[in-house]
Homo-oligomer: A and B are copies of this chain.
């Protein structure tokens, strides 16, 4: 592996000149530029990135934090893939690399160590969920004035940057739609309230009920953990309400699919005997049977926006700006609510 010194020697110029050529900055006589380029080509020289970043006191990395592996499947992998690919797309044009980081399974939460060791210049945090510890770790980061951004999770009371979806209105639209379809007794299978996602959807559900003068009924509220299995399990309980139920609305597609499985096993036809709806517009929602009415969430775009935000922070020297974006969601109507 050759280095700059060798190129400089071969080209008969100073190392500084080699740098100028490689970085395309500063005025250079075309003839020396060519000499350098030739020498570089001849020696197969590529500037060393680690050295460069060391000298610049920047890691050149954006870290993306994921839940530790086993937990990934709790969520749809769809959700993560989409966000990741959005981030990757945005970073692809930039000088920054994407470092994949895994939250520790146990042990104290500490995001700041990735900054302190200089591993990353910015952080995008996925799958964060509210707990005192998590909140502290995040606030600590904010104190350090390092750029970071949550995706698909908010802490409304805190001044933290996030890119989220419009889940309150998404959920409200979904519920209103079900009501329009003639449903008044709508079971809602929510996810853990530690996710702002879940709280948003619950709020949207309640708002829609209120707006349509439908009384709130505790019996219709269920909780799963966003896994298909939990959907299937909760559906056992939901089944017991059956004659007096018009629809089941689950807070994500995976649970909705679990619900449909249980229903079908019990001889209840989703979409006919009982309307079923999900949330996320995941791949699975379009291939399930029946296809699932759901809410599209722009995960890919959310990833892009989060990355764009960080990139912007690196540009300017001031205090990190705070962004709090909520991107539009969209109701997707499919057979699970229309076969009536």
Tell me the A residues contacting B by CB distance below 8 Å: 1, 44, 46-51, 53-54, 59, 61, 64, 66, 68-69, 72, 77-78, 80-82, 84-85, 88-89, 92, 97-102, 113, 116-119, 228, 257, 261, 283-284, 287-289
Contacts and interface: CB of A to CB of B under 8 A. Distances in A.
Contact of A116 (B44, B53, B89): B44
Q: Is the interface of A mostly helix, strand, loop or mixed?
A: helix
B117 A47 contact: yes
Given A98-B100, A283-B284, A116 B72 contact: no
A68 B228 CA distance: 30
Contact of A53 (B50, B68, B78, B88): B50
Contacts of A287: 228, 257, 261, 284, 287-288
A85 B69 contact: yes
A92 B89 CA distance: 25
Contacts of A228: 287
22 contacts: A46-B117, A47-B117, A49-B118, A50-B50, A50-B53, A50-B59, A50-B118, A51-B118, A68-B92, A69-B89, A72-B81, A77-B82, A84-B100, A88-B102, A97-B100, A98-B101, A99-B100, A100-B100, A283-B284, A287-B287, A288-B289, A289-B289
Contacts of A64: 100
Contact of A88 (B48, B97, B100): B100
A46 B59 CA distance: 15
A132 B111 CA distance: 44
A99 B118 CA distance: 15
Nearest to A45: B116
Nearest to A81: B77
A116 B284 contact: no
A3 B289 CA distance: 59
Contacts of A289: 288-289
A339 to B, nearest CB: 14
Contact of A117 (B48, B101, B117, B119): B48
